[in-house]
Amino acid sequence: MNNKKLNANELPELAGAIKDLVNWGKWNLYEIQCKSNINAKYALSNEEGEYLLDINGKPLTKKKSEEIEYISMCKFDGIPMPPTINMPSYVTIR
């Protein structure tokens, strides 16, 4: 699966707080293809389930048994990301 950066103003129907949660890794956003729902272009997943979204980020339905092809995992450009910690691949404890 590829990673994809979306411009912060893409998916205008998706609230800014949700975009923050996606960038912080609390929720996941995927670019998808769904044969049973051709209007579904994205899937948003969180602890409550997975929701199909249209090209503007408008919720269509909660995922049930649709066959989905996940194309890319998406994050938003222009919205803060969590800080990264540069840790060595090993740690020596004395």
Using pLDDT thresholds of 50, 70 and 90, give the confidence band for residue 6: very high
Q: Does this model's pTM top 0.85?
A: no
Rounded-to-10 torsion of CA 60, 63, 65, 67 = 70
CA contacts within 13 A on the Cβ side of 17: 0
Using pLDDT thresholds of 50, 70 and 90, give the confidence band for residue 52: very high
Burial zone of 31 (CB within 10 Å; 0-12 exposed, 13-18 middle, 19+ buried): middle
Distance of CA 11 to the CA centre of its chain: 11
Closest of 39, 2, 46 to residue 24, by C-alpha: 46
**Predicted confidence (pLDDT) at residue 75 exceeds the cutoff of 90:** yes
Query: 60, 68 in Cβ contact below 8 A?
Result: no
